[in-house]
Structure 1
């Protein structure tokens, strides 16, 4: 990675994060929603109840945004300002940190006011559980779990892939994560067709989820939590979750807040029993602003790491190139 391109990528990530923090998701014409509609159209054409069809669907749906991002990156390889602007726009489009924190705080306000029906209606903005029979502790638990997992999915992971691969990484990751939400869940229709999308999403989130867990532990005091307790719970419970990644984030958040997560989840016609993570009481409304503060701090820390990565790689690449040029010049002088 050349240094100018590295600076452009780092600057774009910072600018895109700032746009998300200030403006949140675009109110109209959200690119992710447009991608979802296009992917749904493609699914209707390619669907067969087998993994081969699912693999073709996943490859085309993720490959197209990656190719678009790669073409844009190539076209701006000598125009760092244009590249930074594209990375900023892409980062803003794929991040969801502000919306996530807003929904958590709004849910806390509804529950503190005792308006359970309003809180049930709001839960759909965070996750796909059936809220019709959930009481305050279960609504609060669903919110904490969603904040923990989506801090990785909607903030840390896009930043990680944007740092590693620039605009193609940003667009490719968000495409894969969106497909997982569309077809990666367990159902009769997607039992086989959705497996490739689910496995790709698991793979892309292996590192970001663990980074999210570690940052949540480190920043637990931001939410008036205990760092040692968060570390203990994270080490003990993170592998108990059926997801290879969600448990990393949820166990760390449970320890940071001093609550117990997990239990029975109902998803409109299907039920899943999740292991308990953490010690202490079930979450309450008062825990939701704390979870939002931790999520925000984790996002800022991840941004710092993501911006530093391309700059570090760019400097190392430039140093290696200079040494190689110097060595060739020295050999030429010696021969002369």
Structure 2
């Protein structure tokens, strides 16, 4: 029961405070752990396809093991000292794992930057996306921002929420390690084609169910916000599997349908043009206000998912209390 309340309070803390720039964040530590472990493994393992594949598996096991083990041991230790101390620590961890406000604020920052100049908008969105942004026009900047918010509705909010409510903060941090590994090494390029393959595949596996749950909650959220939920469902059923990622297209297709805009399409990564299918229909041009609309969709989906998952956990946990 206390875990459900820790997640609920953590969600509210994130809603109000987000990620203050002055506060140390454990995800930064995971990122540093990935970088340092990668350097060590590349030094000691053979520079062959097999060596890189094995190194990628070792990297995943080491980083995920440490990310799970440290918060688990800390919470067990605090639990022996005092229940409320352990509860407070887990609540803070849940708060740090969830990123609803950070995601919404990122959209606001891009909007504000675009109001100053296109160059400022390119720089702002470049902080949040992996594609090259230097040549994007205003439409491209807006699309990249909307796509990022839609995709991260799952990766940054609902997926970690799922793992938190299953296994508490330790499993939540394990998920964040999986997600961070994919964002740092899960690329199809010369450096990471083999070394990052395992991390990319594991990220796909961990996000498979949460991405689809997120899409369903986003469709329902579109109805609550009086966006076009019927069109969101139609585009979701038609376009969700067009994306190269098995998961990103789930929520992006819903967002495109709900807002009656077209997302995705070709993009440039590391100087190389990559062909990508489009999601949704170009019923109208995408505009700056769609960044805020996508953030509202993300928030509505997150609240619905929190209520649904918390209720499910309480229904399962309640009989076990007796």
The total of aligned residue pairs comes to 312
Question: Which blocks of at least 5 consecutive residues in structure 1 are unaligned?
Answer: 1-6, 320-336
Tell me if the contact between 2:30 and 2:67 (Cα under 8 Å) persists in the aligned partners. Answer: no
1:1-336 aligned within 5 A? 7-28=1-22, 29-47=24-42, 48=47, 49=49, 50-75=52-77, 80-111=83-114, 113=115, 115-279=117-281, 280-319=283-322
What is the RMSD of the two structures over their aligned residues, measured on CA atoms?
Answer: 1.7
Most deviating of 153-162 and 262-271? 262-271
Q: What's the TM-score once normalised by structure 2's chain length?
A: 0.91
Deviation per CA, 1:146-198, whole angstroms, max 9, x where unpaired? 00001110100110000111122111000110011110111111101101111
Rg bigger for which structure?
A: 1
Tell me if the contact between 1:225 and 1:258 (Cα under 8 Å) persists in the aligned partners. Answer: no
The alpha-carbon distance between structure 1 residues 176 and 143, as it changes in their structure 2 partners (threshold 3 A), is: same
Q: Which has the higher contact order (CA 8 A, sep 6+)?
A: 1
Q: What's the TM-score once normalised by structure 1's chain length?
A: 0.88
Q: Give 4+ residue runs of structure 1 displaced > 3 Å after superposition.
A: 72-80, 221-224
Question: Which blocks of at least 5 consecutive residues in structure 2 are unaligned?
Answer: none
Tell me if the contact between 1:216 and 1:256 (Cα under 8 Å) persists in the aligned partners. Answer: no
Tell me if the contact between 1:9 and 1:310 (Cα under 8 Å) persists in the aligned partners. Answer: no
